[in-house]
Structure 1
Amino acid sequence: MTVAEKIAADTGAVGLSPVLGAGAYNFAADVLKRNLDAGRAGKPAYIDGRGTWTYGQLADRVNRFGAALRGLGVRREERVLMAVLDTVDWPTAFLGCLKAGIIAVPVNTLLTEDDYRFMLADSRAKALVVSEALFPRFEKIIAESPDLEHVIVSGANPHGYRLFEDLIGADEPEDVTAATVADDMAFWLYTSGSTGKPKGAVHVHGSLKITADLYGTPVVGLKESDVVHSVAKLFFAYGLGNAMTFPLSVGATVVLNAERPTPDGVAALLKKHPITVFFAVPTFYASFLNSPGAPQKSEVKLRHCISAGEALPEGIARKWEERYGVSIYDGLGTTEMLHIFLSNRPGATKYGTTGKPVPGYEIKLLGEDGKPVKKGEMGEMYSRGPTSAVMYWNNREKSRSTFQGEWTRSGDKYIEDEDGYFICCGRADDMLKVSGIYVSPFEVEAALASHPDVLEAAVVGWQDEEKLVKPRAFVVLKQHDKASDALVVLLQEHVKQVLAPYKYPRWIEFRVDLPKTATGKIQRFMLRAEQQG
């Protein structure tokens, strides 16, 4: 069944406006109409730093933004770059673009001027929506972007351009939905690749609904009564599902945080709001557990906790469950597959694994010879499912390498155990070959993290004096003043007791923190580059 057939079967191909006919589908129009038809116009959809926004207000803002773009002359399939912090303006702009048939291109809000220069040029964006706090990183490059015609500033100071609130408050909009179909291009997500330029993964309208149908509702179990918070930001594929697609699909309420997440900041949100479903990444769970300001079990309302971004160490998961009485369901998703397709779930959780395939997706592991490996053997993961990106924009070579027919190459190394659970071994380009045997940096990191003094660790390949590769560990301690040569020896012996002795890190360096992406993934390539530097 194609994406279009799946949507048509689910929705009955109901026309969502006078211009839509049989088989037509527009995610923004669908999700807003469903909530209004269900009587949720007065129910809170979003809570941000400015206040509470109901589903009725959200629908009105979306219509107004789409109408404003049309009024500016932005046409169907032209691109709008979004560098917007997590406020109600984010879903307003994103859904407004989709409803108008315009392509939303949300980007990481922690990038550099050069990154944004590339993305504006690569996407040929006709309009830019930018948060006031981020405007300084765009000020110089706006004039250098020949395709850019309009700048819209979310905030109080327009910097000589249009203010978001003024734009959507100008006129009473006509409720118009572009005549899109499920397979119409809807939005791009630029990958946070560790090397080279970012790649724009092109996604379609139907994929948003399908991620909710296959994962958000049946696996996470989201309900209308839930209050949701995602540490991962909306620009990230993980956060997009967590804080928009899934909760809006069931009429839940989302608490947004425009600031960069910290344990203290998130603790305050958990104490202030009755958050029941919580999404984060492993490094954040670890930091939160070690924070003196973390709330007690009696101070939170957590029902489900989800982790993705990197594999969740078993020790962190068990400590979280001991403290809060709630399991963390670890999963794997990628920008290319849009959201989680491999996951633990209620009643079927095995700590130390990433779970089993989400129903509707298939997974295979291939060896270096391109053939499937046996259970218990390591292979590179390929996934097949209805939410795969169409391609990478302007990058045919990478598109052909990643999107191989119905299968999408993940670049992750995994082992399937006898029970059908998948165990992460790390990224294919992070794998180490020590004395001719593959070593997973993740398992060494997990072994180090199981020591009571260790907060987090990163392991990379490092050449010794004879140019042979051995594991080197960069370790962040819970108490930095405990760092010593004696602790290095203790940690090495600890790893030898947990793993095969040849896997222990030959060098251990203590750090105050580790380089990470905005989504919390450790940037091991930056640590490897230190030896070359």
Structure 2
Amino acid sequence: MDLRGIGLQYNASTKFIDENVNKGLGSKVAIYYKDEKITYKQLQDQVNQVGNGLKQLDIGLESRVLLMCYDTPEFIASFFGSIKIGAVPIPVNTMMQPADYEYFLNNSRAKVLIVHEDLWAKISHLRKRFLYLEHIVVISQHDNHSDNSINYREWVERADRELDAARTSYDDPAFWLFSSGSTGNPKGVIHLQHDMECALNNYAKKVLKMTENDITFSASKLFFAYGLGNGMYFPLGAGGSTILMPERPLPENVFEIIEKYKPTVFFGVPTLYGSMINFMERNGKTFDLSSLRICVSAGEALPAPYIRKWKELFNLDILDGIGSTEALHIFLSNRIGDIRAGSSGQVVPGYEAKIANEHGIPLPPNEIGDLLIKGDSVAHGYWNLHEENKRKFYGEWLFTGDKYYVDEDGYYWYCGRSDDMLKVGGIWVSPIEIENSLLQHEAVLEVAVIGETNDHNLVQPKAYVVLKQGVHPSKELEIELKEFVKRQLAPYKYPRIIEFIDELPKTATGKIQRFKLRVG
């Protein structure tokens, strides 16, 4: 039934939590976390208890609740417990600095903070600077707090396990996510009650073919748009199970989790896949990934060599795709049994895409332009950013900020961010194309390409290269890498400058931060 615009009650917690219990999945495991197995009925109880606890704090419709939580059951219970009473949860990155959390709290005007104990310890000294915060709920193993905070465990245990969903509608605000722009302050992205169900139906069910039999494991954390779907509302929406890992996704940790819990779907990012491949080759170890039926990558373009090597090592395909915080999840993707290595695949069902020039006019195949997409999971807009909303949301269309071209067969090829593209000799050059070429060299582990202006004010490609263990920088290797690219790409595309470095700057999701390389 189409509930859009007709004002009928719709609450995402009912869709993703209550409906599973109502259809007989109450005793099924919803969450695997360390040695715990949390059933759908237990999760429903926790969601209801958090919702009732918030109501006791006088939190109601559209009140904002900031979540500083690791990937734990408390995250999911707090997220859906907030939504169930019509409040708006806002998950934030757990790897930020105190000043960032001050910004998140004051920008969002959150009245409640639900936070893990060690994270609260990092910011509690700033308490008087949190202008709108009224309640701090601390996830802790200790019973007493001297700072007037609330102990999460005691707070939840006291609350009732029965709770009716608030009378929210299809288009009510449900949650925010803060986008991680390359410059400037993060932007609060407002998502509506129906957005998660749209992403679930469009991508998880139609592309990944997810069912109740699937167990997902996401290396990307829940506070990111990509991880929120992978590790929470995709498996719950399909009636499946999720594996939560609060620790950093290091290759050895990820392999251990896969072997222990035997997920069927694994979600990673390109740099992690590269690190896992390198970890195996460096240590000469083998791992059992036979439980997996498919792997997924997003965040940035997945290099074709990684796809081929992963297939060689594990006989598993990686489906590369692209999404965004504003679109909530993936809208371009390769398909099971239909992978064009190096591409982002085709448009996900339920979305439309176009490649346009700077005037918004659609371009023919094989011409690089701006990628615009539309679909029902696209955000309502940014919080309190009128001018930015006008620049990013073109009616039904979302300006993604990505440069792409589409080939004659309808496959989309990533060419970099709008501010990463290089114009060399008047011709657009994709840094990704140069990076993919260099990654095929046996000495190269990771690479990032930017444009550097020379003495004549002309842009030339510069490559920052991380070498594999045991390989040492040299002038000879620099020349060899340049010639290697010249043999594969048009001559004008080769990197004029190569700088060997120990590590590339990255976001917490593993995205390479090219803007940091541009500013030195």
Q: TM-score range by the shorter chain?
A: over 0.9
Q: Deviations over 1:460-492 (max 9, x none)?
A: 111223332211111111215422221111111
Q: Using the TM superposition, give the Cα deviation of residue 24 of structure 1 relative to its aligned residue in structure 2, in angstroms.
A: 1.0
Q: Does 1:408 align with 2:398?
A: yes
User: In structure 1, what is the equivalent of residue 261 of structure 2?
Assistant: 273
User: In structure 1, what is the equivalent of residue 219 of structure 2?
Assistant: 231
| 1:232-381 matches, cutoff 5 A | 232-292=220-280, 296=286, 298-381=288-371
Q: Does 1:139 align with 2:124?
A: yes
Q: Using the TM superposition, give the Cα deviation of residue 163 of structure 1 relative to its aligned residue in structure 2, in angstroms.
A: 1.7
Q: Using the TM superposition, give the Cα deviation of residue 83 of structure 1 relative to its aligned residue in structure 2, in angstroms.
A: 0.9
Q: How many residues align?
A: 515
Q: Is the partner of 1:30 in helix, strand or coil? A: helix
Change (3 A) 1:295 1:212: farther
Q: Is the partner of 1:290 in helix, strand or coil? A: helix
Q: Using the TM superposition, give the Cα deviation of residue 246 of structure 1 relative to its aligned residue in structure 2, in angstroms.
A: 0.8
Change (3 A) 1:75 1:305: same
Equivalent of residue 187 in structure 1, options 161, 165, 175: 175
Which piece of structure 1 moves more, 29-38 or 486-495? Answer: 29-38
Q: Is the partner of 2:166 in helix, strand or coil? A: coil
Q: Structure 1: how far apart are the matches of 2:359 and 2:503? A: 38
Q: Is the 8 A contact 2:443 2:471 kept in 1?
A: no
2:230 is matched by which residue type in structure 1? Answer: N
User: In structure 2, what is the equivalent of residue 398 of structure 1?
Assistant: 388
Q: Is the 8 A contact 1:2 1:386 kept in 2?
A: no
User: In structure 1, what is the equivalent of residue 466 of structure 2?
Assistant: 476
Q: Using the TM superposition, give the Cα deviation of residue 2 of structure 1 relative to its aligned residue in structure 2, in angstroms.
A: 6.9
Q: Structure 2: how far apart are the matches of 1:50 and 1:81? A: 27
User: In structure 2, what is the equivalent of residue 11 of structure 1?
Assistant: none
Q: Using the TM superposition, give the Cα deviation of residue 299 of structure 1 relative to its aligned residue in structure 2, in angstroms.
A: 4.9
Which runs of 5 or more structure 2 residues have no equivalent in the other structure? none
Equivalent of residue 111 in structure 1, options 74, 93, 96: 96
2:363 is matched by which residue type in structure 1? Answer: V
Q: Does 1:522 align with 2:507?
A: no
Q: Is the 8 A contact 2:402 2:416 kept in 1?
A: yes
1:196 is matched by which residue type in structure 2? Answer: G
Equivalent of residue 160 in structure 2, options 172, 185, 193: 172
Q: Is the 8 A contact 2:259 2:287 kept in 1?
A: no
Q: Structure 1: how far apart are the matches of 2:305 and 2:208? A: 22
User: In structure 2, what is the equivalent of residue 219 of structure 1?
Assistant: 207
Q: Is the partner of 2:65 in helix, strand or coil? A: strand
2:496 is matched by which residue type in structure 1? Answer: R
Q: Is the 8 A contact 2:45 2:162 kept in 1?
A: no
User: In structure 1, what is the equivalent of residue 73 of structure 2?
Assistant: 88
The TM-score, its normalising length taken from structure 1, stands at 0.94
Which piece of structure 1 moves more, 455-464 or 171-180? Answer: 171-180
2:404 is matched by which residue type in structure 1? Answer: Y
User: In structure 2, what is the equivalent of residue 197 of structure 1?
Assistant: 185
Q: Does 1:43 align with 2:33?
A: no
Q: Structure 2: how far apart are the matches of 1:184 and 1:111? A: 29
User: In structure 2, what is the equivalent of residue 130 of structure 1?
Assistant: 115
User: In structure 1, what is the equivalent of residue 84 of structure 2?
Assistant: 99
Q: Is the partner of 2:235 in helix, strand or coil? A: helix
Q: Is the 8 A contact 2:217 2:242 kept in 1?
A: yes
Q: Structure 2: how far apart are the matches of 1:131 and 1:106? A: 12
Q: Does 1:53 align with 2:43?
A: no
Q: Structure 2: how far apart are the matches of 1:344 and 1:228? A: 19
Q: Using the TM superposition, give the Cα deviation of residue 128 of structure 1 relative to its aligned residue in structure 2, in angstroms.
A: 0.4
Q: Structure 1: how far apart are the matches of 2:285 and 2:332? A: 30
Q: Does 1:385 align with 2:375?
A: yes
Identity rate of aligned residues, in percent? 44
Q: Using the TM superposition, give the Cα deviation of residue 115 of structure 1 relative to its aligned residue in structure 2, in angstroms.
A: 1.2
Change (3 A) 1:220 1:462: same
Change (3 A) 1:224 1:47: same
Q: Structure 2: how far apart are the matches of 1:288 and 1:377? A: 34
Q: Structure 2: how far apart are the matches of 1:529 and 1:193? A: 16
User: In structure 1, what is the equivalent of residue 4 of structure 2?
Assistant: 4
Equivalent of residue 499 in structure 2, options 496, 509, 516: 509
Q: Is the partner of 2:4 in helix, strand or coil? A: helix
Q: Does 1:450 align with 2:440?
A: yes
Q: Structure 2: how far apart are the matches of 1:142 and 1:379? A: 46
Q: Using the TM superposition, give the Cα deviation of residue 301 of structure 1 relative to its aligned residue in structure 2, in angstroms.
A: 1.2
Which runs of 5 or more structure 1 residues have no equivalent in the other structure? 9-21
Q: Deviations over 1:432-465 (max 9, x none)?
A: 1111111111111111111111111001111223
Q: Using the TM superposition, give the Cα deviation of residue 420 of structure 1 relative to its aligned residue in structure 2, in angstroms.
A: 0.7
- Flag as ranges the 4+ runs of structure 1 deviating above 6 A: none
Change (3 A) 1:72 1:295: farther
1:296 is matched by which residue type in structure 2? Answer: T
Q: Is the partner of 1:394 in helix, strand or coil? A: coil
Q: Is the 8 A contact 1:77 1:185 kept in 2?
A: yes
Q: Structure 1: how far apart are the matches of 2:61 and 2:269? A: 35
Q: Is the partner of 1:194 in helix, strand or coil? A: coil
Q: Structure 2: how far apart are the matches of 1:444 and 1:299? A: 31
2:197 is matched by which residue type in structure 1? Answer: K
Q: Is the partner of 1:414 in helix, strand or coil? A: strand
Which piece of structure 1 moves more, 103-112 or 129-138? Answer: 129-138
2:509 is matched by which residue type in structure 1? Answer: T
Q: Structure 2: how far apart are the matches of 1:318 and 1:133? A: 41
Q: Structure 2: how far apart are the matches of 1:375 and 1:458? A: 27
Q: Is the 8 A contact 1:267 1:295 kept in 2?
A: no
